[in-house]
């Protein structure tokens, strides 16, 4: 696991384009665009809201809770890999919707510019969101960005695994179930936007969990790819393992049949015209709050053991594939891992090393906090300038529920 580096606030970093969204007295927005001309892949990542350092955060959390924090309540966030995160002020429902529509549509428009694409060329938009601010959020922001009405829209609600679930759907034709549109086959060779948009400051404003209020923040990222060309699927695994203990309970701000506990899958997949909603079953907080955590050790228990097993399965399958095609010397250049917290990712790397599985797993989100489904995309974009044509990248997504999407891909030829 690559060691953490000292960081600035995201807004103070070079190349970040700053603006103000006129909602609730003004909400800061920052975006950074990236393009790798060798790969033909670009995208944009960013955040919105006021940036809070670890020193300033406790007073913000106390204002949200309406009660003081004891010294024991304050997490050592730097040790967990987070030095800053972005939060919004108290807003009403309509202001939340207005703000996130503006955030999402600006992100899509700027991503198109970063890729050098016209909106009319886009065949699909796949976005992971833990708790969408509106049921038709994806349809609204694509319309605002000028993307054609007949483009495929896929919203994926699998907590922190959402963007990786979206990317996996875009690349792996084996994920399709009988009677459903095969998303990967439909999008092969076409221009597609994939990412995660997470307004977690709005989400956690309905929580009284002291850890969640300190760990989570706003984040977003979108990449432009051509499945089968600029990014080629090699091997992957999508895995569900219901969190019976409710170690991370999350309110479902989306419809779900709630039959998944005894069904073959925890996922509802519903298609309405050209919009597909992939909804993951969650344990929900009993008190009606948006999120409730069983503590940091509960998070380790929830994600590490099964997460290591899924990565091992994919890595062994990758090695077998390389052997079969006569490319045994090829290795994974880098792992792009969900940034739950630094200790979880370090422990995963340690367990994988014991299994003889080692590749760089850089920690890259000190200035964001845990931004759920946006984290893999932000991490990928931050490493994109270093990635070379033909590199093999392993994406490792995991989220509450519990959901895992791990895949190895080739960057172009």
Read off the pLDDT of residues 187-208 as tens digits, 9 standing for 90 and up: 999 999 999 999 999 999 888 8
Average pLDDT over residues 5-9: 74
φ, ψ for residue 271 (rounded to 5)? -115, 130
Please report which residue ranges of 128-246 form alpha helices under DSSP H.
137-144, 162-171, 183-187, 200-204, 210-215
CB-based contacts of 178-186 (< 8 A; 24+ apart in sequence): 180/269, 180/271, 181/152, 181/271, 181/276, 183/124, 183/126, 183/152, 183/154, 183/276, 184/227, 184/233, 186/124, 186/152
**Packed helices 162-171 and 375-383: angle between N→C axes, nearest 10 degrees:** 70
241 Cβ neighbours under 8 A, 6+ residues apart: 306, 402, 404
pLDDT score for 49 = 98
* Mean pLDDT of the chain, nearest integer: 95
pLDDT at residue 259, as a whole number: 65
Mean pLDDT value of segment 158-182 = 95
Residue 106: predicted pLDDT: 98
Q: How far apart are CA 66 and CA 207, in angstroms?
A: 12
Q: Which residue has the higher pLDDT, 178 or 53?
A: 53
| 379-405 tens-digit pLDDT | 999 999 999 999 999 999 999 999 999
All structural domains of the chain: 10-411 (3.40.47.10)
Q: Which residue from 113, 112, 137 is spatially nearest to 127, judged by alpha carbons?
A: 137
Q: Is-above-0.75 flag for pTM?
A: yes
Closest CA to 370 of 346, 340, 391: 340
Provide mean pLDDT across the span 263-286.
Answer: 92
Between 163 and 300, name the one with better pLDDT. 163
Q: Assign residue 175 a region: left if phi > 0, alpha if psi is -120 to 50, beta otherwise?
A: alpha
pLDDT attached to residue 207:
83
Mean pLDDT of 54-81: 95
How confident is the model over 324-351, as pLDDT tens digits? Answer: 999 998 999 999 999 999 999 999 999 9
Using pLDDT thresholds of 50, 70 and 90, give the confidence band for residue 6.
low
What percentage of the chain exceeds 70 in pLDDT?
A: 97
């Amino acid at each position: 696991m690559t060691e953490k580096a000292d960081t600035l606030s995201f807004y103070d970093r070079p190349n970040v384009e700053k603006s103000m969204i006129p909602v609730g007295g003004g909400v800061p927005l920052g975006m950074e665009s990236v393009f790798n001309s060798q790969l033909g892949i670009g995208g944009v990542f960013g955040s919105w809201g006021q940036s809070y350092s670890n020193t300033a955060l406790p007073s913000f959390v106390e204002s949200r809770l309406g009660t003081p924090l004891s010294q024991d309540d304050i997490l050592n966030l730097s040790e967990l890999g987070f030095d800053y995160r972005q939060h919004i002020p108290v807003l009403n429902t309509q202001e939340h919707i207005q703000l996130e529509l503006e955030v999402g549509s600006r992100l899509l428009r700027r991503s198109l510019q970063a890729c050098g694409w016209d909106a009319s060329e886009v065949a699909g938009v796949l976005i992971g969101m833990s708790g969408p601010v509106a049921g038709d959020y994806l349809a609204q922001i694509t319309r605002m960005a000028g993307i054609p009405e007949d483009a495929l829209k896929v919203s994926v609600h699998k907590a922190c695994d959402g963007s990786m679930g979206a990317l996996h759907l875009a690349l792996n034709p084996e994920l399709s179930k009988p009677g459903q549109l095969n998303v990967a086959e439909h999008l092969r060779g076409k221009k597609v936007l994939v990412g995660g948009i997470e307004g977690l400051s709005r989400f956690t404003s309905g929580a009284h969990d002291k850890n969640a209020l300190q760990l989570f923040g706003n984040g977003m990222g979108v990449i432009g790819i051509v499945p089968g060309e600029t990014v080629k699927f090699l091997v992957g695994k999508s895995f569900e393992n219901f969190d019976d203990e409710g170690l991370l309970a999350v309110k479902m701000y989306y419809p779900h049949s709630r039959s998944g506990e005894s069904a073959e899958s925890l996922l509802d997949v519903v298609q309405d015209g050209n919009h597909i909603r992939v909804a993951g079953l969650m344990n929900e907080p009993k008190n009606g709050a948006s999120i409730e955590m069983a503590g940091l050790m509960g998070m380790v228990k929830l994600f590490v053991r099964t997460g290591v097993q899924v990565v091992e399965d994919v890595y062994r399958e990758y090695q077998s594939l390389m052997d079969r095609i006569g490319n045994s010397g090829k290795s994974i250049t880098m792992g792009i891992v969900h940034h739950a917290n630094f200790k979880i990712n370090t422990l995963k790397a340690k367990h994988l090393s014991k299994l003889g599985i080692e590749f760089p797993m850089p920690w890259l989100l000190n200035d964001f906090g845990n931004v759920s489904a946006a984290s893999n995309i932000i991490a990928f974009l931050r490493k994109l300038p270093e990635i070379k044509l033909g590199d093999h990248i392993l994406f490792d997504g995991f989220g509450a529920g519990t959901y895992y999407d791990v895949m190895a891909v080739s960057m172009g030829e």
